[in-house]
Amino acid sequence: MTRSRSHALWLLTAALLSAAPVLAQAPASASRAAAPQTVSDVLQVPRPKGGEWLGLYLMDKKVGYFFTDVALVPGRKDQVRAVSELVFKATVGTKLSERVHREERVYEAKPGGRMLSFVVDQRGDGGTQRLEATNTPGGMKVVRKRPGQPDEVLTVAASAEKTEDADQARVAIFRKAAVEGIVTDGTDLQGYKVTTTTEPAEERMVRGVKVRLSRAQTISEKEKVPVTAYFTEDGEMVEVDFGQTMKARAETEAVAKRLDVVEVFGLTRIVLPKKLPVEARAVPGRAVLVMTGLPEKFQQDSYRQKYVKLPEGRVEVTLLSDFPKPANLKPLPVADPDGGENLKATIIVESDNAEIRKLAKTLVGTEKDAYAASKKIVTWVATNLAKDYGVSADRATDVLRQKKGDCTEHSLLAVALLRAAGIPARRVDGVVYMVNEDGVPAFYWHEWIEAYVGEWTQMDPTFNQPVADATHFGVGREGNAEITPLIGQLKVMEVKDKPSTPVKP
């Protein structure tokens, strides 16, 4: 079973973290250009004093809360501080999963001012750590602090964040124009472009009164989840929509912190009308499903998944699994068909870490065939990581040290080891078929991997599958929260014996 925070919980958390701080920077309008500003627009926009509290709801069930505030640094008029705190809590199986993520960023208060520093505190699910960053034009120095571990100093490219990035939605509404910027993500320290557009205002009932609400929508190139925020004329943020699955609603602090007991597996799984055929578990294998709620952008044919459009918004999906063709297999090291992205070391996928490189070398030994080496690595991860569904980590080295976790930890460590061995690899997000204790056949959110061994092949280090069988339906890559809107929306209407038209491998 793929438990712990469950992959659905992890994806939802990633989507929420990508939305705060919400960014935006744009040139001043022509009407304001004649009168130079001394302070950024982020200090001109109306907003409640003392910050705002919002309750977080997954499919109308309370799973956490969010706090956000932007104001001058106390005692200073030349610096702006943006604070955001996310608390996410839910029951996953029989265990409580909780994640607390707090960020504090400081910027110059002038228009277009630089981000000067940030502090990220993370605890609970995913591990406990503190990142203290100082940003200069020449680069960004990050000190990573973890309990019981020596401090780690990282140097990354300078952040391009500007002061206006502290509150993108309100700045966009204030300027009445589309805006965009680059922001450094507080989890992987990479800069991502975010685009914000204003949308037509609408009237809604707020606390029993009909009010006119301004709207702004933000999309990050990292997560690709449309985030729509609604504001009153006084600048109060009354609601934020993260796709159709997750919403944040304005509440008092006391109400925001009052959480429901939500069991994520039962809430987010996709129930099937009947069990998948036995051949779905075989390799080669096949499964055929009729689905609704799958946007067209996800319907891209691949070597594992084929799509046929049907009437009334339905789509027939054929899931395939097979061994890589012997004639295509390559020796180590393998060139990345994507230009090196799938061999890159990052703060999360630490394939350049000395311990990970040493282990990869030991596991591969004298093996020259990339696929055979991949199987050795996947088998080691599957058999040496305890299936602990109450412990998780967001860095490959942390997974290696604790040697336990769920599907995300198994996939993260496997990808790091594969890259260290010279094998291009990436994580795959999607769902996997299981029949749980209640006897209901269903898809559960899951993560596995894909390795390039002369051709791409999917492998599952959680279930020790050298070829991920046809019970796996992939919809995203590299922990991308773009798929979060599918949670609660994707439905399986029919399990078929064979596809309606012949499927070419």
Q: What is the pLDDT of residues 139-164, one digit of tens each?
A: 999 999 988 889 999 999 999 999 99
What is the model's pLDDT at position 139?
95
If pLDDT is split at 50, 70 and 90, which confidence band does 22 have? Answer: very low
Helix, strand, coil abundance in the chain, percent, nearest 5: 20, 40, 40
pLDDT at residue 1 tops 80: no
C-alpha distances (whole Å) from 391 to each of 56, 349, 385, 388 are: 23, 18, 11, 6
% of the chain exceeding 70 in pLDDT = 89
**Separation of alpha carbons 268 and 486, rounded Å:** 10
pLDDT score at 481: 63
Q: 439 CB contacts (<8 Å, ≥6 apart)?
A: none
Residue 164: the pLDDT is 92
Contacts of 421 (CB under 8 A, 6+ apart): 332, 333, 360, 361, 363, 364, 373, 377
Token pair belonging to 38: 């001394």
User: What is the tally of helices (H) and strands (E) in the chain?
Assistant: 9, 25
Structure-model confidence comparison of residues 484 and 72, the more confident one: 72
CA–CA dist 348, 126 (Å, integer): 12
Least confident of 33-42, 401-410, 422-431: 33-42
Residue with tokens 């996800």: 298
Give Cα separations from 294 to 76, 313, 314, 354, 432 (angstroms): 50, 8, 8, 42, 16
Give the pLDDT band (50/70/90) at residue 488.
Answer: confident
Q: Looking at residue 23, what is its pLDDT?
A: 33
| Cα distance from N-terminal residue to C-terminal residue, the chain | 29
Based on the number of CB atoms within 10 Å of its own CB, is 389 exposed (0-12), middle (13-18) or buried (19 or more)? Answer: buried
**pLDDT score recorded for residue 33:** 41
pLDDT(93) > 80: no
Within a 13 Å sphere around the CA of 13, how many CA atoms are in the beta-carbon half?
Answer: 28
Question: Other CB atoms closer than 10 Å to residue 498's CB: what's the count?
Answer: 11
Backbone angles phi, psi at 186, to 5 degrees: -80, 0
User: Tens of pLDDT along 434-481?
Assistant: 998 788 999 998 999 999 999 999 999 999 999 999 999 998 876 566
Q: Per-residue pLDDT for 392 more than 90? A: no
pLDDT at 333 over 90: yes
Find the mean pLDDT for residues 181-189.
89
Give pLDDT tens digits for 277-306.
999 999 999 999 999 999 998 999 999 999
pLDDT of residue 5: 40
**Average pLDDT over the chain, rounded to an integer:** 87
In three-state secondary structure terms, 383 is: helix
Closest of 404, 381, 396 to residue 345, by C-alpha: 396
Least confident interval from 33-47, 68-82, 369-383: 33-47
Instruction: Give percent of the chain above pLDDT 90.
Output: 65
Q: Which of 272-291 are b and which e, b meaning 16 or more Cβ less than 10 Å from the residue's Cβ? A: beeebbeebeeeebbbbbbb
Instruction: Identify the residue whose tokens are 């491998």.
Output: 505
Please say if the pLDDT value at position 401 is more than 50. Answer: yes
Query: DSSP per residue over 11-55, as a string?
Result: HHHHHHHHTSS---B-PPPHHHHTS--SS-GGGTS---TT-EEEE
